[in-house]
Structure 1
Amino acid sequence: MSIDWGFTIRKFIVYGTLFALFALAILIMAALGVEPWLIAILSGGFLFVQYFFSDKLVLWSTGAKIVSESEAPRLHMMIESLCTRMNLPKPRIAIVSNDMPNAFATGRSPKKSVVAVTTGILGRLNERELEAVLAHELSHVKHRDMFVVTFASFIVSVLSWVVYIALSMVMRGEDRDNFAATMAAWMVSMVFSNTIGLIIINTVSRYREYGADEGAAYATGSPDNLISALKKISGARYSGDDARGLEAAKALCISSTSGSALMELFSTHPPMEKRIARLEQIRTKMRGY
């Protein structure tokens, strides 16, 4: 398996930026004299809930049902085979009753993971295409991508609190009971978390998708099946209700649940044409020409 150094370097730049922002937040707090325990409790609580309960929340919000081997023998057999090839423990398997063709993985570690597929994807993809999609999701599990995104969300949470505290201190000045200044600081911090913060998290998410695509290509021996699956998924028609049903898991899905993103910058997934183009490059590398 050859290494795409350009992609690898860009990925580490993104992750390095996250750590740099986190360090900057700590320095700002120290300079402002903010009690570290306050930020630790607020952000730590957020991280704890996300880390230990996000999988349960995602399964609940999407209506995913854990299925046994007797209920879904085909799925279990395919995932067992892939897990053997990818040196992974077998995750729990779930099915979402939703006509939108999609799949996602969730869970804080390979041993605590769940791979879910919709009824829509089961009805649209052939055996090889479905295997490629499952390999994509297992690549997320293998690389602990769910934790990476959770950590990115944690950093954004810390930064949002720092922005709020710093601005409220500056804007209130000597008047500690200035409600208008407090509300203004809160609104600015919300704008920060929903713009800059969202860009940070979604940038991490897009790199996860490229990495999982590459992992699936090598796990299945060919990018062609994933390319075919992505084309079918992106070309499928579905209702607004189906898309809303997967909204809580949109960052985890193999395909974006929304086709109305104004800018790639704010999207959790790379454009489908870019993913396919990159898979075609991987195919060329795998064939040695």
Structure 2
Amino acid sequence: MYTKWGMTIRKIFVYGTLFVLLFLAVGVLIYFNVSPFLIALLSGGFLFIQYFFSDKLVLWSTGAKVVKDVEAPALHAIIEKLCSQMGLPKPRIAIMQNDMPNAFATGRNRKNAVVAVTTGILRVLNERELEGVLAHELSHIKNRDMFVVTFASFVVSLVSFVIYILLSSFMARGSDSSYGSSYTAWMISILLSNTLGVILVNTISRYREYGADRGAAYATGNPDGLINALKKISGARYSPSSVSSLTSAKCLCIQSLTGRGLMELFSTHPPIEKRIAELERIRSEIRGY
């Protein structure tokens, strides 16, 4: 994928502005001696919203639209068949106008789940390959992966808060400014949560992808469908707008939106070649040779 610097600069500006606003808000709370426990409560509130309204937030941010049986009969038929095989209630189904072949699952539990696909993936994959991708997404729902990711994020936030409390208490002993020490401690805790914390959450996410691949292989009895799908959807170049519109669902997508090498630590997905190698091993496992 290539980088469009105009869009990248705008994203950095937006994220930077949000980052500054976050620090200003925390600074004001600390300056007025607001209890740190209230700050933690507010953080917990954001996590609550993220978990219980995840489906609505992701659908809204990606522009995916829920479709009925008559609007996408073939797609509904495949998912109904897979849900019957996997013992799952049928989720809502959504389609996103996006050229990038991708799919994602969201929702807080099996009864409130949504499986979404892009128009790009419907155009590129055949029925067997699409079945493998959809089985992968349904495996995320069956394994309650949305809860796992949200819980991991909560743990990282909690650890960050504890680090803040410990650092602010330690630094306040040798400082004349409680505001300055508290603010510095908060900055350090945020820095740690956005480096080590992100690495931890994304490591969990990568293992979650392997689990969904395995679930799809066994659910369909045909690992080759997902293998061929991964080969088709990987490596191609897509417009920055197609990629950026899926950013909010990057932990849930079938295809990674991030890099390789050292950057794999910050990726939500394993490299495609590693996933294919594991699926080929599972294929031998299923076939018994």
**TM-score normalised by the shorter chain: which range applies?**
0.7 to 0.9
| Contact 1:105–1:113 (CA under 8 A) maintained in structure 2 | yes
Instruction: Determine if contact 1:46/1:154 at 8 Å carries over to the other structure.
Output: no
Counterpart in the other structure of 2:161: 161
Q: In structure 2, what is the Cα distance between the partners aligned to 1:283 and 1:253?
A: 23
CA 174–263 in structure 1, closer or farther in 2 if over 3 Å, else same? closer
Which ranges of 4 or more aligned residues in structure 1 deviate by more than 4 Å?
35-40, 174-177
Judge conservation of contact 1:168–1:185 (CA < 8 Å) in 2. Answer: yes
The aligned counterpart of 2:56 is: 56
Match of residue 229 from structure 1? 229
Are the equivalent residues in 2 in contact too, given 1:101–1:236 (CA < 8 A)?
no
Asked if 1 retains the 8 angstrom alpha-carbon contact of 2:94 and 2:114, the reply is: yes
C-alpha deviation, 1:200, in angstroms: 1.0
**Deviation digits for residues 209-238 of structure 1, max 9, x if unmatched?**
000000000111111010000001103321
- In the superposition, the TM-score normalised over structure 2's length comes to 0.84
Equivalence for 1:279: 279
Shift of the alpha carbon at 1:174?
Answer: 6.9
Partner of 2:257: helix, strand, or coil?
Answer: coil
Partner of 2:201: 201
Offset from partner CA, 1:22-75 (integer Å, 9 cap, x none):
xxxxxxxxxxxxx99657624532331122112211111111111111111111
* Contact 2:110–2:142 (Cα < 8 Å) also in 1: yes
Q: CA deviation at 1:165?
A: 1.6
Range 258-267 or range 53-62, more displaced = 258-267
Aligned residues: 255
User: Which string of whole-angstrom CA distances, capped at 9 and with x for unpartnered residues, describes residues 181-228 of structure 1?
Assistant: 222111111111111110110011001100000000011111101000
SS of 2:140's equivalent in the other structure is helix
CA gap of 1:215–1:236, structure 2 versus 1, over 3 A, is same
2:9 corresponds in structure 1 to none
Query: Do the aligned residues in 2 keep the contact of 1:39 with 1:158 (CA within 8 Å)?
Result: no
Structure 2, unmatched stretches of 5+, are 1-34
Task: State the partner residue of 1:130.
Answer: 130
Letter in 2 for 1:164: Y
Q: TM-score, normalised by structure 1?
A: 0.84
Partner AA of 1:89 in structure 2: P
Give the corresponding residue for 2:152: 152
Residue 173 of structure 1, CA deviation: 2.1
1:35-74 → structure 2 map (5 Å cutoff): 38=38, 41-74=41-74
CA separation in 2, counterparts of 1:142 and 1:155? 22
Shift of 1:178: 3.0
Write the distance in 2 (CA, Å) between the matches of 1:282 and 1:186: 46
**Paired AA for residue 274 in structure 2:** K
Q: Is the 8 A contact 2:260 2:271 kept in 1?
A: no
**CA distance, structure 2, for counterparts of residue 231 and residue 176 of structure 1:** 60
**What SS is found at the alignment partner of 1:263?**
helix
What percent identity do the matched residue pairs reach? 69
Matches for 1:68-87 after TM superposition, within 5 Å:
68-87=68-87
Q: Distance in 1 between matches of 2:39 and 2:178?
A: 22
Deviates more, 1:177-186 or 1:188-197: 177-186
Which segments of 5 or more consecutive residues in structure 1 lack a partner in the other structure? 1-34
Partner secondary structure for residue 69 of structure 2: coil
* Corresponding position of 2:247: 247
Write the distance in 2 (CA, Å) between the matches of 1:92 and 1:99: 22
CA deviations over 1:149-179 (Å, ceiling 9, x no partner): 0000010111111111211111122768433
